[in-house]
Amino acid sequence: MAEPKARAINEIRIEGKLAFPPEQRQSKTGTTFTTGKLAVDDMKKGERVTYWFGVAAFKDASPVLAGCRKGDRIVVTGKMTVDEWTGKDGQKRVQPIIVVFEAAGIEAPGRQSTESPPTPTDADRHGPSEDDPIPF
C-alpha cells in the first residue's frame, strides 16, 4: 500500500497597520473581495525594519477588512502566496500576499470602540473557588 503524501501547511497569522485605505473590488466572475497593504514592524540587529504584505480578503473576511481604515492595527490569518511581475522600469518585482480568511481590527487610532470590554467577575480576578466543580 502506498503511503499518503504529506501535505504542507501554509498558514500565517500576522499583526500590523494598514498602510492605505482598503479597496473593495469585484472579480470578473462577480466575487467581492477587499485588498490592502499591511506594514509589519520588527527589530533586526537593533534597528527597526518594516515588512510589507499585500492582503486580499474574501468571503466573511472581506467586509471586515473593508470596514477598516488607513492606520488601523489589524490581525489577519490566511495563506501566504507571492505575486511576481515586471515593473515599468523592466525590473522584476516580488510581493508577499496574504490571502485572508480571517481578519479582526485591534486598534483604530482616533476612533472610539463600539464595544466596551467585559467587566471581570471575581472568578476572573481570582480563579475558581474551592466549591467550583472541576471543568473536565
| Predicted TM-score of the model (pTM) | 0.68
Residue 7 placed within a domain: no
Q: What is the pLDDT of residue 131?
A: 44
Cα–Cα distances (Å) from 122 to 39, 119, 125, 128, 131, in that order, read 39, 10, 5, 9, 14
Give 7-24 pLDDT, tens digit per residue.
668 899 999 999 999 999
Residue 91 placed within a domain: yes
Termini Cα distance of the chain: 40
Q: What is the pLDDT of residue 105?
A: 83
Residue 131 placed within a domain: no
**3-state class (DSSP) for residue 122:** helix
**3-state class (DSSP) for residue 126:** helix
Residue 6 placed within a domain: no
CATH number of the domain residue 30 falls in:
2.40.50.140
Q: Which residues of the chain have pLDDT under 50?
A: 113-136
Q: What is the pLDDT of residue 9?
A: 81
Q: What is the pLDDT of residue 122?
A: 42
Q: What is the pLDDT of residue 132?
A: 41
Q: What is the pLDDT of residue 121?
A: 44
Domain tally, the chain: 1
Q: What is the pLDDT of residue 56?
A: 94
Which domain covers residue 95, as residue numbers? 12-109
DSSP letter string over 50-115?
EEEEEEEEETTHHHHHHT--TT-EEEEEEEEEEEEEE-TTS-EEEEEEEEEEEEEEEE-TTS--SS
Cα–Cα distances (Å) from 100 to 60, 74, 76, 97, in that order, read 10, 12, 6, 9
Q: What is the pLDDT of residue 106?
A: 80
Q: What is the pLDDT of residue 47?
A: 94
Residue 87 placed within a domain: yes
Contact between 100 and 80 under an 8 Å Cβ cutoff? The reply is no
Q: What is the pLDDT of residue 119?
A: 41
According to DSSP, the residues that pair with 135 across neighbouring strands are none
Give 43-62 pLDDT, tens digit per residue.
999 999 999 999 999 999 99
Residue 125 placed within a domain: no
Contact between 77 and 100 under an 8 Å Cβ cutoff? The reply is yes
